[in-house]
Structure 1
Amino acid sequence: MPYISAVQNISSNPDDATATAAPQYPIESVDNALKLLLLLGEQQEIRLTDASNYLAVASSTAHRVLAMLQYRGFVRQDAQTKAYGPGPALTGVAFSVIGRMNINQLGRPFLQELNDVLDETIHLGMLEGANVRFMDGIESRKAVRVASRLGKSLPAHVTSIGKAMLAELDSAELRRLYPNDVLPRVTDKSITDFSRLEKQLALTRSSGYATNREESEEGVASVSVAVPTSVPGLRLALSVSAPVNRLPAKAAKEAASILIPVAKRFGEALG
């Protein structure tokens, strides 16, 4: 049908002693290391001063904790910026946990619901650095439709699904992803400068949804909303894509009003 018409969650349960009670013999160094791992779940990178301030310890103490995490592969240090980011061991654990969450399996009913209501192509995407990976997709039943991008990866700034997730980042995180003012071009309508991207993301935050009109593919428009999750570092979004004539700019708000409650229920299902 046409669109124009159509950091940690700690239990407060006193019976859950494992979630509320501090250990009898706390080990401060272990606690500090775990705190930094949780911080990396919220930020793309951290600097030594960030770690020192966050832990309220001397820089030398923070450095020792980071050095051990780096030794075990849980963080890596950029040779030029000296900032610390997730290491292979941490990302390996994260993807293992995410894999066991069966995101696609949990998300499929919600994608199907949107596909049934909107009869356009629906996608589920995950933010991977400055790119978005399309994890699942259900195509429209119409003869002329947007093809599924399942398994593909695109620059996040040229897709509505990517912009919906980028809008969740703070200015420092965003700048770390885009250190240069000039952004890659995919089509003639792609955003190619950082300041313009910032303005679009500000609009996304205020409206609650992101749009894309031929920025990643000629003739294709899309609307997307972020999926709210309590998993640190996990950023997901849902989108609806259609030929531009079937998804005019004035219909974006209505499409978003259908996406938002479904994305909320999906996030609740993820826990």
Structure 2
Amino acid sequence: MTEQSAADTTGQIPTNLRLLMLLEEVARVGVPVTPSAVNETLGLPKPTIHRLFATAEAEGFLQRDIDGRSYSPGRRMRLLATNTLSSERVRTVRLSILKALATKIGETCNIAIPERDGMYYLDRVETHWPLRIQMPIGTQVPFHCTASGKMYLSTLRTDYLDRLLQNGSFEKKTDRTITDSKELREALAVTRTQGYATDDEEFMQGMSAVAVPILDDRGRLLATLSVHAPRPRSNLTDLIGHLHDLQRAALELGAMAGH
């Protein structure tokens, strides 16, 4: 009998599983959560749950939210998730889907994940065309003026989005960049309704992009899948014409992430 099954049958969590199950529960909930809320699931002694949270925070796996009571994934936990997604076996299958999509569309395709200050390029397959936009794996791009970033922002809970729009600084990258919080909110509402996001030369002059969400089995955004291209070759309308292919690939990627 495994330690996990022992926990299921006895109702007690083995000591060496407690911290792991705490982190798993914080990740599962997906929003900042208090120790007492997590303990409704774990059922540990109150001093134990608070000690585990203190340890996870001290080691960088959790970070305290602005209210001082709630916790969310810290840098080490986010890095753990990124490294897991980048493991060789998972990445091989993911890249095969991405390569097939890039070949069919004929433009560069990217997978990006949200980080604290922007979207992080996790994977990328370049177009074969000599004229291309160089943004290698590991590049971080802003939320407010990229297709992937706006896709992510559109999925945020209203109260979190309100905080970001009230306190965020939105740098003007081109003449088309939305820097007004009211306009950005309206653009995100459109994104939420249509299910995809666009970047019409808002991040970089002469570049258009379209992004769709990669969702987990609970409908939460795991990452974004996007295609971008220089306007002399493909304008925004051209890229939106590939929306069905993007959405189908995103479904495959989401299903793969659940296994």
Residue of structure 2 in register with 1:43 after alignment: 30
Mean Cα deviation higher: 115-124 or 136-145: 136-145
The equivalent residue for 1:68 is 52
Give the SS at the match of 2:192: helix
The unaligned stretches of length 5 or more in structure 1 are 1-17
Matched residue, 2:10:
24
Residue of structure 1 in register with 2:81 after alignment: 94
In the alignment, is the contact (CA less than 8 A) between 1:110 and 1:262 conserved in 2? yes
Q: SS where residue 176 of structure 2 aligns? A: coil
Q: What is the aligned length?
A: 247
179-188 vs 197-206, which deviates more?
179-188
The answer to whether the Cα contact below 8 Å between 2:98 and 2:125 also exists between their aligned partners in 1 is yes
Equivalent position of 1:161 in the other structure:
148
Rounded Cα–Cα distance in structure 2 between residues aligned with 1:249 and 1:97: 33
**CA deviation vs aligned residue, 1:200-250 (integer Å, no higher than 9, x gap):** 222222212110011111000011111123499872111111122443343
SS at match of 1:143: coil
Does the 8 Å contact 2:213/2:221 carry over to 1? no
Given that 1:122 and 1:139 are in contact with CA atoms closer than 8 Å, whether structure 2 keeps it comes out as: yes
- Counterpart CA distance in 1 for 2:131 and 2:145 is 22
Shift of 1:28: 11
**2:150–2:188 Cα contact (<8 Å) kept:** yes
Any stretches of 5+ residues in structure 2 without a counterpart? Answer: none
1:22 Cα offset (Å): 3.0
Which residue is equivalent to 2:109? 122
Give how far 1:254 is off.
1.8
Q: Percent identity?
A: 24
Identify which of structures 1 and 2 has the higher relative contact order when contacts are C-alpha pairs closer than 8 Å and 6+ apart.
1
Aligned with residue 100 of structure 2, among 108, 113, 127: 113
Give me the whole-angstrom Cα distance separating, in 2, the residues matched to 1:199 and 1:63: 46
1:30-73 deviations in Å (ceiling 9; x for gaps): 87994675244443533x4xx5457569xxx8797345312233
- Residue 161 of structure 1 contacts residue 224 of structure 1 at CA under 8 Å; is this kept in 2? yes
User: Following TM superposition, by how much is the alpha carbon of 1:266 offset from its aligned partner in structure 2, in angstroms?
Assistant: 1.8
Answer yes or no: is 1:248 the counterpart of 2:235.
yes
1:170 aligns with 2:170: no
Please list the CA deviations of residues 56-94 of structure 1 after superposition, one character each: whole Å capped at 9, or x if unmatched. 69xxx879734531223342225x641422235534543
Specify the alignment match of 1:200 in structure 2.
187
